[in-house]
Structure 1
Amino acid sequence: MTAPIIFAIPKGRILYEALPLMQAAGIEPEAAFFDKESRALMFDTSDPGVRIIRVRAFDVATFVAHGAAQAGIVGSDVIDEFDYSELYAPVDLDIGHCRISVAEPAELAATDDPRSWSHVRVATKYPNLTRKHFAARGVQAECVKLNGAMEIAPLLGLSSRIVDLVSSGKTLKENGLVEVEKIAEVSARLVANRAAFKTDERIASLVEKFRAAGNA
């Protein structure tokens, strides 16, 4: 009996935008998936050959790259942060739009010029992406790794700047921060394990279903 495809999806902002595309691709989660009291992480779907796991966005990339899951959905920010060679991202799903930006306190931004930076201390959950961005400009980035609550770091003196996802900018504003530099636009991508894509025709078929759903 052929083992089912494991499809990884992220908790949080992308999930509910992804559900209509999943449904169009023939992957509809079982009812238990929508039970807010459930602590289960793996679920059946309308396709008996596909099971889904619901994990943190950063973990989607890791599960798929290492072959524990064969495909999934994750933001391009996560793909860029990990840069796994075994992670293949064939379809931009055109959902989960935001940007990854550098922000700093408004009073600092009033006199600051990012073009003059030679060294920056930055709080971020994207240390690799951040270092790569600043290195391309000849700027040395000292990254303080945080998993959340980035906006409070400048207020408490942990760092003078942050690199984080920005959507409306409301959270930045409420914490006295302003964007001073955009690093990249972000959207959600369908990802697949590169080896699985090459050897399992079901993965290639799934990619085409999502491509068609996105185009529709």
Structure 2
Amino acid sequence: MTEPLILAVPKGRILDEALPLLARVGIIPEPDFSNESSRALRFKTNTPAIDLIRVRAFDVATFVAHGAAQLGIVGSDVLAEFDYSELYAPVDLGIGHCRISVAEPADLAVKDDPRGWSHVRVATKYPHITRAHFEARGVQAECIKLNGAMELAPVLDLAPRIVDLVSSGRTLKENGLVEVEVIAEVSSRLVVNRAAFKTRATDVVPLVDKFRKAVAA
């Protein structure tokens, strides 16, 4: 019997948008998936051919790139940060829209002009994207890696600026920060392990096509 395909999905906001899309594709998780008190991480679906795993957004790319999962749903921000050669991203799912932006305290932004920067100190969970963005402009970026609570960095003098995901901008505003530069627009993609795309083509290719049709619909 063929092992089920494993589809890695991210916890949090993207998952809320992904579930209706999965339903259109014909993938319905078992009831325990919606049980917030459940500690399970791997779930059956209505089709024996597909299991779901629910992991952190940044870990989806790692699970799929290393073949622990064959497919996944992940933001283009994560793909750009890790740049795994083992990943193929055939479908923009049109969900999880946000942007990666540079932000700083509002009182600094009043007198600050990003065009005049030659060196920046930035707190971010995206050091690769951040350095590449600033290097392209001839700006040296000193990146301090954080995995969360980014908005605290300027308040506590860890770094005067941050690079982070922004959706509504409400969290920035509540912490006295403003966007001064957008680095990239972000949306979620269907990713496939390149080796699995070849070795399990009869299973993977039709599923990719279903996602493509669900997005187009």
TM interval, shorter chain, is: over 0.9
Residue equivalent to 1:2: 2
Residue equivalent to 2:136: 136
TM-score between the two structures when normalised by the length of structure 2: 0.98
Q: What letter is aligned with 1:154?
A: P
Question: Residue 9 of structure 1: CA displacement?
Answer: 0.1
1:62 aligns with 2:59: no
Counterparts of 1:94-109 in structure 2, within 5 Å, are 94-109=94-109
Question: Residue 199 of structure 1: CA displacement?
Answer: 2.2
1:39 aligns with 2:39: yes
* SS at structure 1 position matched to 2:53: strand
Q: What letter is aligned with 2:204?
A: I
Q: What letter is aligned with 2:81?
A: E
Q: Deviations over 1:170-190 (max 9, x none)?
A: 110111100000000000100
Counterparts of 1:76-115 in structure 2, within 5 Å, are 76-115=76-115
* SS at structure 2 position matched to 1:77: helix
Counterparts of 1:9-28 in structure 2, within 5 Å, are 9-28=9-28
CA distance in 2 between counterparts of 1:192 and 1:85 reads 11
CA distance in 2 between counterparts of 1:117 and 1:96 reads 31
CA distance in 1 between counterparts of 2:116 and 2:88 reads 37
May I ask how many residue pairs the two structures share in their alignment? 216
Runs in 1 of length 4+ with deviation above 6 angstroms?
none
TM-score between the two structures when normalised by the length of structure 1: 0.99
CA distance in 2 between counterparts of 1:18 and 1:83 reads 23
Name stretches of at least 5 consecutive residues in structure 1 with no aligned partner: none
Q: What letter is aligned with 1:187?
A: S
Residue equivalent to 2:214: 213
Q: What letter is aligned with 1:124?
A: T
* SS at structure 1 position matched to 2:94: coil
Name stretches of at least 5 consecutive residues in structure 2 with no aligned partner: none
CA distance in 2 between counterparts of 1:176 and 1:76 reads 27
CA distance in 2 between counterparts of 1:5 and 1:58 reads 20
Q: Deviations over 1:45-76 (max 9, x none)?
A: 01101100000000000000010000010111
Residue equivalent to 1:189: 189
CA distance in 2 between counterparts of 1:79 and 1:46 reads 29
* SS at structure 1 position matched to 2:40: coil
Q: What letter is aligned with 2:46?
A: S
1:204 aligns with 2:183: no
Q: Deviations over 1:94-134 (max 9, x none)?
A: 01101010000011110111111111000001111111111
CA distance in 1 between counterparts of 2:20 and 2:139 reads 42
Question: Residue 20 of structure 1: CA displacement?
Answer: 1.1
RMSD over aligned Cα atoms: 0.6
* SS at structure 1 position matched to 2:129: helix
CA distance in 2 between counterparts of 1:119 and 1:211 reads 43
Residue equivalent to 1:74: 74
Q: Deviations over 1:24-55 (max 9, x none)?
A: 11211000000111010000001101100000
* SS at structure 2 position matched to 1:137: coil
* SS at structure 1 position matched to 2:27: coil
Residue equivalent to 1:122: 122
